[in-house]
Amino acid sequence: MSLPKVRLFLLGGTITMDKAPGATSGVVPSVDAAALCRAVPGLDQVADLQARTDHMVASANLTYQHAFDLAAEITQADQKGEADGFVIVQGTDTLEEMAYLLDCLLDIKRPVVVTGAMRSPAQLSADGSANIMAAVICATTQAVGAAGVSVVMNDDIHAARFVTKAHTGNVAAFQSPAAGPIGRVTEGTAHIFTLPVPTAKIPVPEISSLPEIALVTASFGDTGVMLGLLEKSSCAGLVIEALGAGHLPEKYLDILDRLTQKMPVILSSRVGNGHIFQNSYGYQGAEIDLIRRGLIPAGILDGPKSKILLTLLVMAGRNLAEIREIFNRWNF
């Protein structure tokens, strides 16, 4: 019986990093896809794996174009039936953004799994090999594909929409505060507990330039100086991570009134868990007032994911009403 075919794309990250010869401190990208896969005992018994090193970079250097290229190649391979599942391996600093971006772009049924490592191969109890094994197992499990793009770390299976990196160094850093994991890999088998409601899909765009979307976080005693700078910028949109359930200082309001006339402004929360409220607080700067002024509530999406969705919608040429409808309808 033939094994499932899985394509693995390596982009870089901690999972690839080891000490350079002669170095006294710090690790750097140096372990390619073939070497990573050879270090996973029994991987060749799980899948017919085609592993490729696309990049060897820290994930802070990944871009939208990397995601667009990946999405286009995965879509083509899916349409031709060239693989049964796909794994993307990258650094964890932007792993949740890549996973959510691919989830917005890809409209396929086959599993697409993103993974990485919290510990480099140079550290004790490095988690990279276990994460690759779990990710490949999930990529061979068709039920995982029904969840959209997933993130598999520390044997937990997370939906891209909910997952976030919640710790700087713990191997259990990836959590889904709003919903919890959707499944788990146990004894070599992927078990799915629940499936999220499907998200809106946006075709891979053809672009000559990327729109600038600003992300600003509100803080104690803030006077809105960053918003003032945006008035004179070329930004095509703004995401504000507000206080609490969607609240901002009154000093923001005059500038926001002007900004909403120039660009879509999305109201998310810096809390990272829970909905933006819409009908609870009535004072100036609270969510009722801000929505009346034209801000668009982000639902459960945090700031970084709201920025990704807004970027794709601006690139797709969606108007303000369409942007509001997608944020209201699809992010619950």
Indicate the helix (H) or strand (E) that contains 97.
Answer: helix 95-105
- For the chain, state the CA radius of gyration: 21
What number of CA atoms fall less than 13 Å from residue 305's CA on the CB side?
29
| DSSP H/E element including 255 | helix 253-259
Judged by DSSP in three states, 228 sits in: helix
For strands 156-159 and 183-186, give the pairing: antiparallel
Dihedral (Cα; 4, 156, 69, 103), 10-degree rounding = 110
Beta bridge partners of 9: 52, 88
| Active-site annotation holder among 14, 94, 115, 311 | 14
Q: Give strand ranges (E) for the chain.
A: 5-12, 17-18, 28-29, 48-57, 85-89, 112-115, 150-153, 156-159, 164-165, 174-175, 183-186, 189-192, 213-217, 237-242, 265-269, 296-297
C-beta of residue 118 within 8 angstroms of C-beta of residue 151: no
Residue 255 sits at φ, ψ, to 5 deg, of -70, -40
**Residue 49 carries which side chain, given as an amino acid letter?**
L
| Coil/strand/helix, residue 241 | strand
141 included as an active-site residue = no
Place of tokens 């796909």: 86
Residue 118, SS3?
Answer: coil
Could you give the residue numbers annotated as active site? 14
